[in-house]
Structure 1
Amino acid sequence: MSLAFAPHDISAGAVLTVDLSALRSNYRLVRDRVRPAEAAAVVKADAYGLGATRVASALLKEGCRHFFVAQLCETRDLRAHLPSAAQLYVLNGLLPGAEAEAIALGVIPVLNSLAQVEAWSAAAVQLGRRLPAALQVDTGMSRLGLSAGEVEQLRRHPAMLDGIDLVLLMSHLACADEPAHTANADQLAVFRQFAAQFPAIRRSFANSGGAFLDTTYHGDLVRPGIALYGADPVPGAVRPRPVVQLDARVIQVRTITANTGVGYGLTFRASAPTRLATIGVGYADGWPRGLSGRGAAYVRGVRAPIAGRISMDSMTLDISSLPDDALRAGDLVELIGPNQTLDDVAGDAGTIPYEILTSLSRRYARIYTEDETALSNRVARSA
């Protein structure tokens, strides 16, 4: 059997395929779900590790015009790939002294403190023109945003906002992935109190999980992140299409005798003659060491458990359940794909899909496809 795509860089230990058609489909899913609110796209951390410029360019084709990153440094390259009509927000706001660069890049800071408000206002006054900004309020997550007392200071001293054109009032849900959690309704009530003090400003409250809560959470602009990239934002909600597939290359195949140890610490010891395949992915490539002795790869739908500890650049699979000629050096085995989803991997590793995605290595050969059937037609073995 042969791959349904060109393997490109055969020097890489694995191939990461990003299905941009699935990404766009997931955006449409959220967009249609939250109408009449708009859907933005969170592309921080290099679009959760998948490439912010490629992801943003694909979502522009679906009409997305609002993009969120976490840090100003993330906007430098991305801004050049977005049309002037697209709005680029910085969730963490600006560190002291970064105002001039933000103005030059034409980005919109999310102001999270009175100090950030003061600095942005001073920059606008000095420049002699109004500067756009979003204002974040803390509705109960205690992470970022102005407190009720700080908002009251703004209300009593409106000159603090001189030169600032507030385009968005926002907050963030702490428990949106748990629809029945009482914190959701509590935060919504607090957000509504804040919004009443800024009646003319658009509201943004819901993240990926919030998009699948009822419409009272949607406001004017919803900020999906993980839902775009193929993971379940809420258990039991409509499942997004898989966006990534990761296939690792076999470096070596061997047979060991009974009682032979494998890997650092020799934590795996064969109870019988065992066939092993060593593949070129390790924890330096973002494959969690916590999957040692717990996770697996798949070969033509057959589970091949990880034997022993995951190393920095490689790990070893027990392929005894496969035919003797099933794998050879250079073949590919599935780490994320039809048989093992992103959520499955995260569950086995005791973490969340966000961490798996954002850890994916830059050493992988990367393929971007717009083919609607690309991932479904993939096979995990090279010619």
Structure 2
Amino acid sequence: MATASLHIDLDAILANWRAMDALTGPGTETGAVVKADSYGLGAARVARLLARAGCRKFFTACAEEGAAVRAALGEGPEIFCFAGHAEGDTALIGEARLTPMLNSIDQVTRHFEALPGAPFGVQLDTGMNRLGMEEAEWEGVAPIVLGAGVQLIMSHLACSDEPAHEMNARQLEQFHYMTDGLDVPRSLSATGGILLGPAYHFDVTRPGIALYGGLPFAQATPVVRLSLPVLQVRDVAPGESVGYSNTFIARRETRIATLAAGYADGLARTLSSRATLWAGDIPCPLVGRISMDLITADITDLPDVPAALDILGPHQGVDALADVAGTIGYEVLTSLGARYRRVYHGGAA
């Protein structure tokens, strides 16, 4: 088979969600962020898995994602959209029974005029200066919004992956200032905020990257293994080059495996001649330039030619590979290409 296999452990995702849930008290509900197709791992599968386990609140980036999750889940769970009620989304929000997190006075007006009586939440800006209403906007619209039955008030932490950063306490204080005394469920924390402790938990948490095995949840159970099939093997003499631009020159008799994956599949060119692949417990250096569809690895030290090599697995998780690429685990996960054959394990009802 010339298609790489992305193995996804649904039991690990469930264990990570339960671990996040266990970090909060009985008064806090644990939701799940399934945006970007559950960080590339399949939102329909993940949402159904977590709904069976008791998750009742799911968070997506936009209405299109929310509608896909609704189709997978059916009636019952709430599906929130961080982008709110954008222009052109009215029909989709209504048909899929989504809960947009209204980010501005314009969105409040649009939602109330187009879908009167439909559920909604509100997102507040506590200092990140991205989405959400600032303090003055919120003060102006709060009486109308609160009287219309808002489902959830949320904000988002900018520096929660740095526990000692002073921005965390500043945003917490501002969130209290903007929301204390309101009889509405509140949500401030994604994965990093959950790890900051109970003061940040409020009524609803929104774990995302932790579910999929990434930092800052260092105790997460690994979720993915990416196996790349070997398409061809050749012996390269000392002085010969491999790949584009002759960036690798063999210094010894070298056995080179060509594997089916490249930057079109989410393996960044910055990994060229820097990453490591694995044959079981044996490391195999990635050599030469990563191209669109192919990479090459030095398998000289292997006793036999393998059928495939792992670039993600027990010896190298998403954050370790991200360090080599000069990025973050989120980007590694969400870049995993559509050509990979996704193989799901576990997840029994």
Shorter-chain-normalised TM-score: which range? over 0.9
Task: Verify the 8 A CA contact 1:26 1:229 in the aligned structure 2.
Answer: yes
The residue type equivalent to 1:202 in the other structure is: P
How far apart are 1:232 and its partner, in Å?
2.2
Distance 1:231 1:185 in 2: 24
Give 5+ residue unaligned stretches, structure 1.
1-9, 373-383
Q: Aligned with 2:7: secondary structure?
A: strand
Over residues 319-348 of structure 1, what are the superposed CA-to-partner deviations in whole Å (9 max), with x where a residue is unaligned?
A: 12222xx215xx011111111111111111
Distance 2:237 2:229 in 1: 24
Residue 300 of structure 2: aligned partner = 320
Residue 229 of structure 1: aligned partner = 212
Task: Verify the 8 A CA contact 2:67 2:92 in the aligned structure 1.
Answer: no
Task: Verify the 8 A CA contact 2:128 2:157 in the aligned structure 1.
Answer: yes
How far apart are 1:78 and its partner, in Å?
1.6
Residue 185 of structure 2: aligned partner = 202
Q: Are 2:93 and 1:99 aligned?
A: no
The residue type equivalent to 2:332 in the other structure is: I
Task: Verify the 8 A CA contact 1:124 1:164 in the aligned structure 2.
Answer: no
The residue type equivalent to 1:172 in the other structure is: H
Residue 124 of structure 2: aligned partner = 137
How far apart are 1:121 and its partner, in Å?
1.2
Aligned pair count reads: 347
How far apart are 1:162 and its partner, in Å?
8.5
Q: Are 2:96 and 1:118 aligned?
A: no
Distance 2:301 2:333 in 1: 29
Q: Are 2:172 and 1:188 aligned?
A: yes
2:64 to 46, 63, 73: 73
Q: Aligned with 2:150: secondary structure?
A: strand
Residue 325 of structure 2: aligned partner = 349
Distance 1:258 1:280 in 2: 25
Give 5+ residue unaligned stretches, structure 2.
none
Structural mapping, 1:1-383, within 5 Å: 10-12=1-3, 14-36=4-26, 37-125=28-116, 130-155=117-142, 158-159=143-144, 161=145, 164-196=148-180, 199-234=182-217, 237=218, 239-323=219-303, 326-328=304-306, 331-370=307-346
Over residues 222-258 of structure 1, what are the superposed CA-to-partner deviations in whole Å (9 max), with x where a residue is unaligned?
A: 0000000011225xx5x11011111110011111111
Task: Verify the 8 A CA contact 1:124 1:163 in the aligned structure 2.
Answer: no
Going from structure 1 to structure 2, the CA distance change for 1:27 and 1:162 (only over 3 Å counts) comes to: closer
TM-score with structure 1 setting the length: 0.88
Percent identity among equivalent residues? 43
Q: Aligned with 1:303: secondary structure?
A: strand
Residue 378 of structure 1: aligned partner = none
Q: Aligned with 1:102: secondary structure?
A: helix
Distance 1:100 1:61 in 2: 28
Q: Aligned with 1:348: secondary structure?
A: helix
TM-score with structure 2 setting the length: 0.96
Going from structure 1 to structure 2, the CA distance change for 1:353 and 1:162 (only over 3 Å counts) comes to: closer
Over residues 363-383 of structure 1, what are the superposed CA-to-partner deviations in whole Å (9 max), with x where a residue is unaligned?
A: 1111111179xxxxxxxxxxx
How far apart are 1:133 and its partner, in Å?
0.9
Q: Aligned with 1:327: secondary structure?
A: coil
Over residues 179-210 of structure 1, what are the superposed CA-to-partner deviations in whole Å (9 max), with x where a residue is unaligned?
A: 111110000000001112x6111000000011
Q: CA RMSD in A?
A: 1.5
The residue type equivalent to 2:305 in the other structure is: L
The residue type equivalent to 1:204 in the other structure is: S
The residue type equivalent to 1:180 in the other structure is: A
Task: Verify the 8 A CA contact 1:133 1:164 in the aligned structure 2.
Answer: no
Q: Aligned with 1:57: secondary structure?
A: helix
Distance 1:230 1:101 in 2: 31
